[in-house]
Amino acid sequence: MNIPNVLYRNNRILLKELTKTDFKLRYQGSMLGYLWALLRPLMMFAILYVVFAKLLRFGSDIPHYPVYLLTGTVLWSFFTECTSQGIQAIVQRGDLIRKIAFPKYIVVASTTFTALINLAINLAVVVIFALINGVTPSLTWLLVPVFIFELYCLALGISFLFGAINVRFRDIASIWEVLIQALFYAIPIIYPITMVANSSTLAAKIILLNPIAQVIQDVRYNLITTETVTTWNFLESPVAMAVPIVIAGAMLVVGAIYFRKQSKFFAEEI
C-alpha cells in the first residue's frame, strides 16, 4: 500500500465532501435556495447600475458599460465571499477540527471552492449578458481563467493568513469586513479608472498596482472591450506591471506558511 497516495486520496475526498456540505448549508432554510448564488450579485449590480449609471451618468463613454459593471461586481463578490468565509472557516469548523486529525488547510480550501462554484455560475450569466449586449466573442476570452486564478491565489492567501490569526483574535473577521467596505471604493468597480487618471495619473497607477483592480481591468479588457485601461497598457515600467502578480503570489506563500505553522495549535485555541 502506497501511504502517500492513500492520504492524498482521503484528503481529496474530504475536500470534496466539505465543499458539497458547505455549499448546501450556505443556502439551507432559504426560500430561494441555490438561486441566491445567482441573485445576490445580480441584485447588487442592479442597484449600482441604477444609482451610478442612470442617476450619476457613470460609464457613458465605455462600450457595453452594463456588462462592464456586472463583470466587476461578480469578481468583487467572489473575492469578498472567498475571503470573508475563508477567514472564519477554522473557527466555524471547530468541532470537526477537535475531533478528527486531518490537514487543516482543507477546511479553508473547501469554503473558497464554494465561492468558485458561485463564480462559475455568475460568469455564465456574464457571458450570456455580454452576448445579448452585443459583445463579440474572441479568443481573448480564453485568458479570463488565468486572471481569475490570480485573484483566487490572492484570496486564498488572505484567507490562510487572517484565518489563522482569527483563531486567536476573533476581531480579525470584523476588521476585515470594514476593510472590505473601504476597499470597494478604492477599486474601479463602479467608476472607470479614466475618471481617476484625469485628475491624477499617479493615483490611477497606484490603484492599478492593486491585484484586485488589475484582475478586474484585465478581465474586462479580454472579455468586453479593448478600450479598458489595464496595468500593462497604462503603466510605463515592466517592473511595475509585475507588482500585482508578485503581491498575489507573495500573499499566498506567506499565508500558507503562517497557516501551516499555526495549524498545530488550532484544536487547543478554538
pLDDT in tens, 135-156: 999 999 999 999 999 999 999 9
Comparing 54-68, 145-159, 189-203, which segment has the lowest mean pLDDT? 54-68
Contact 79, 153 (CB under 8 A): no
Q: How confident is the model at residue 216 (pLDDT cuts 50, 70, 90)?
A: very high
Instruction: Look at residue 76 and tell me if it is in a domain.
Output: yes
Closest of 182, 236, 180, 181 to residue 208, by C-alpha? 236
Instruction: Tell me, yes or no, whether 3 lies in a domain.
Output: no
In a domain, 5, yes or no: no
Residue 182 located in a structural domain? yes
1 in a structural domain? no
- Say if 2 falls within a structural domain: no
pLDDT-derived band at 34, boundaries 50, 70, 90: low
Grid coordinates 511595475 are at which residue? Answer: 240
Q: What's the whole-model pTM score?
A: 0.89
For residues 193 and 229, the answer to whether their CB atoms sit within 8 Å is yes
Which domain does 119 fall in, by range? Answer: 13-269
**Domain assignment present for 6:** no
Q: Is residue 8 part of a domain?
A: no
pLDDT band at 1, cuts 50/70/90? Answer: very low
CA 249 and chain centroid, separation:
14
Q: Number of folded domains in the chain?
A: 1
C-alpha–C-alpha distance, residues 138 and 127, integer Å: 12
